Amino acid sequence: MIWLAAIWSLGFWLFGVAIPLVAIFLEGSRDLTLNQFFDPVVLNVVWVTVKQVFWSVVFSGIIGLILGLCLGRVSQWGRGSRVLSIFSLPMVVPTVVAGIGWLVWIGNSGIFSRLGIHLDLAYRFEAVILAHSFYNIPWVALAVAHARRLVPESRIEALRVLGAGRWSVFVHGVWPSLRWAWATACAQVMGFCAMSFALVLVLGGGPPVQTLETEVYSRLKLGGVDWSGALICAFWELLLTLIPWGVVLFLQDREKFKISENYIDFHKKSNRVGVWATRSFLGLGVFFLFPYLGVFSVSWGPVLNLLRTPEVLQALKFSFSLSVWSSVLTILTALSALGLLFHSKVPSGVRSLLGFLFALPSGVSVIILGLGVWIAYGRWIDPFEGSPAAMVLLQVTLFFTLAMRTLWPVASSRDPRSTDVALSLGASSIRAWIEVEWPRWQGPVLVASGAVFGAVLGEVGAVSLFASEKWVSLPGLISQSMQGYRFEEAQILAGLLLTSSLVATLGAVELGSRLGGISRSP
C-alpha cells in the first residue's frame, strides 16, 4: 500500500508541478536575455502587481486584525459557531462571481449609479483593492480569532493582578499568542492577491489594470502567442508568489499554540452584552457576503429560457463532470500523500522533504503552472483545441493541498493500535482499514470533496487557458458573456454558479458533520 501511495501522489506532483516548472525554467534560460526582464512594459506590470498586493495586504491585515480580536471574544458566547460560519462563507464564493457581484454595485450602470451615487470605481485600481480587501478580511479575521480564543485566562489574570492596563495586557498577554497566526494569514493574503486572476480580469478590465497574472494570460490567449513575454512575466510572478509561500512555511511552525482547558471567561459579562455583540457580528459577517449577493438582483423573467439553451446546458454538464473528476482524483492524491507522510517507515528527513514538495503548488498560480503544462506537453496537448485532461491535471495539482489541510487532523491523530488489534484477529489489511479507520475518515473526506468540488466549479484560470468552443465551462461562459457585453446574462449565470458552489460546499459540510469525524463548533 505504501508503494501505491508513493507512486500515485509523487506521480501527480511530478507531472503537475515539477515537469511544468522545469519546462518554464529551461525554456526561459534558453531564449531570454537579461535586458528583456527589465523591459519598461514588463516593469510597469510588475509595479502595478506589487502595488495592488501591498495595499490589499495592508487593508486586509489591519482590518482583519481588529475584527479578529473582537471576533475571538464574541465566538466564546452562545452563538459563536454561527458567527464563525458566517465569516467563513465568503471563502466559498467563486472569484468570478465576486467580481461580477462588485460590478453589479459599482459598475457604470450598477445599483449605486441608479441611486444617483456615482463612485466611478469600475475598471480601476481602487476597485481591485476594494474587492481583494473584502474577500480577504474574513480570512485574516478568522485566523486571528482562532488564535485569540486559545489565550489562557491565567496569563490575562496574572497581568491584571500586576496592574497592567488594556494596552499592556494586549502587548504582553495577547499579541505573543496571535502574532504568528496574523503574520501567516497576511503572507497567505499576499500570495492570494499576487495570483489573483478572475477578480483582476473582471474588475480591472484587462488593460486598465494589468497584473502579472492577467498579463501572462493576455500574451498567451489574446492575439498572437508571445512566448518570451509570457515567460518573463511568469518568472517575475514566481518571484513574487514564492516569497510569501516561503514566509508561510517559516511561520507556520514558528510558534505552536497550546489549547488551554481554561479559556478566558467572557461569560462574566452580562447576557445582554453577549447577545448584542453576537447579533452585531452576525450582521457584520453578512455584510462581507452582501456584495456578492448582488448577482441575484436581476430580472428573473428570462432566467428559465436562458438556462434551457444548449450552450448553458452543455457548460453545466461539462463543469459538473470536470468537478467530479477533479474532486475524486484530488481526494485520492491527498489521501495518498498523507498516507506517505504519516507512514511509520518513512524517515523524518524524507517526511520533511515530502511536506515541502507537497506544499509547493500553493505558492504557484494555476496560470503559471498552465504555461508550464503548455510548454512541457505541447506536442500532445493543443491548447487551442481545448484539453479537459490538462484542466483536471491543473486543478488536482492546485487543490490537493486544500484537501490535505482538511484531512491532516484525521491523519495526524491515527492510533495504529486499533488497526493492529484487527489484524491480529485475522482481518485483512483492507478489511481492517474499512472497519477501523474509515469511520474516522468518512466525514472529513466528504467535507474535503465538497470543498474541492465547489472550488473547481468556480475555477477560472485552468479552464481559460485550455478551453475551446467544444470545452466551455460555466465560468468560461460567464467570461464570454462579459466580453460580449451581455451583462444581464453574465449576472444570471453568476447567480447559478454561486448557488451551485454554496449548495455543494455547505451540503458536504452538513452531511460530513452528521457522519462524524468533524465538528461544526470551533
Q: What is the mean pLDDT of the chain?
A: 81
Distance, CA of 460 to CA of 367 (rounded, Å): 10
The angle subtended at Cα 184 by Cα 263 and Cα 193, nearest 5°, is 130
Q: Which three cell numbers stand for residue 391?
A: 484542466
Counting beta carbons within 10 angstroms of the beta carbon of residue 115, is it exposed (0 to 12), middle (13 to 18) or buried (19 or more)? exposed
The pLDDT assigned to 299 comes to 61
Give residue 501's pLDDT band: very low, low, confident or very high (50, 70, 90).
Answer: confident
Distance, CA of 3 to CA of 7 (rounded, Å): 6
Mind listing the pLDDT tens digit for each residue in 395-408? 999 898 889 888 88
Q: Which three cell numbers stand for residue 124?
A: 480601476
Any idea which residue has 483582476 for its cell? 200
Dihedral (Cα; 305, 308, 313, 316), 10-degree rounding:
60
Q: Rounded to 5, what percent of the chain is helix, strand, coil? A: 75, 0, 20
The pLDDT assigned to 520 comes to 40
Beta bridge partners of 263: 152
Q: Which three cell numbers stand for residue 102?
A: 462588485
User: Which of the listed ranges 31-35, 211-215, 297-301, 503-507 does the model predict with the highest average pLDDT?
Assistant: 211-215
Mind listing the pLDDT tens digit for each residue in 247-275? 777 766 555 433 333 333 333 333 344 55
Residue 479 confidence (pLDDT) above 70? yes
E strand residue ranges, 214-347: none
**Mean pLDDT over residues 288-306, rounded?**
76
Q: 72-81, 104-113, 286-295, 429-438: which range is least confident on average?
A: 72-81
The pLDDT assigned to 484 comes to 81
The pLDDT assigned to 237 comes to 92
The pLDDT assigned to 77 comes to 47
Distance, CA of 140 to CA of 142 (rounded, Å): 6
Any idea which residue has 529551461 for its cell? 26
Cα–Cα distance list, 326 to 8, 400, 438, 456, 468 (Å): 15, 10, 22, 7, 19
Distance, CA of 462 to CA of 365 (rounded, Å): 10
SS (H, E, C) 434-482: HHHHHHHHHHHHHHHHHHHHHHHHCCCHHHHHCCCCCCCCHHHHHHHHH
Residue 328 confidence (pLDDT) above 90? yes
Q: Which three cell numbers stand for residue 179?
A: 502574532
* Nearest by Cα to 95 from 506, 370, 462, 468: 462
Widest pairwise Cα distance in the chain = 76
Q: Which three cell numbers stand for residue 110?
A: 450598477
| Under 8 Å between Cβ of 144 and 181 | yes
pLDDT above 90 covers a percentage of the chain that reads: 18
* Nearest by Cα to 198 from 474, 470, 452, 448: 474
Give residue 318's pLDDT band: very low, low, confident or very high (50, 70, 90).
Answer: very high
DSSP reduced 3-state for 32: coil
The pLDDT assigned to 48 comes to 92
The pLDDT assigned to 334 comes to 92
| Under 8 Å between Cβ of 340 and 358 | no
Distance, CA of 464 to CA of 425 (rounded, Å): 53
* Nearest by Cα to 397 from 6, 14, 23, 1: 14
Distance, CA of 216 to CA of 191 (rounded, Å): 17
DSSP reduced 3-state for 413: coil
| Under 8 Å between Cβ of 161 and 195 | no
The pLDDT assigned to 171 comes to 81
CATH number for 1-31+298-522: choose from 1.10.10.10, 3.40.50.720, 1.10.3720.10, 3.40.50.2300: 1.10.3720.10
**Mean pLDDT over residues 100-128, rounded?**
84
**Mean pLDDT over residues 409-416, rounded?**
78
Cα–Cα distance list, 327 to 192, 300, 321 (Å): 21, 32, 10
User: The pTM is what?
Assistant: 0.84
Number of residues in the chain: 522
Domain boundaries, the chain: 1-31+298-522
**Mean pLDDT over residues 105-112, rounded?**
83
The pLDDT assigned to 253 comes to 59
* Nearest by Cα to 189 from 148, 232, 248: 248
Residue 385 confidence (pLDDT) above 70? yes
The pLDDT assigned to 281 comes to 62
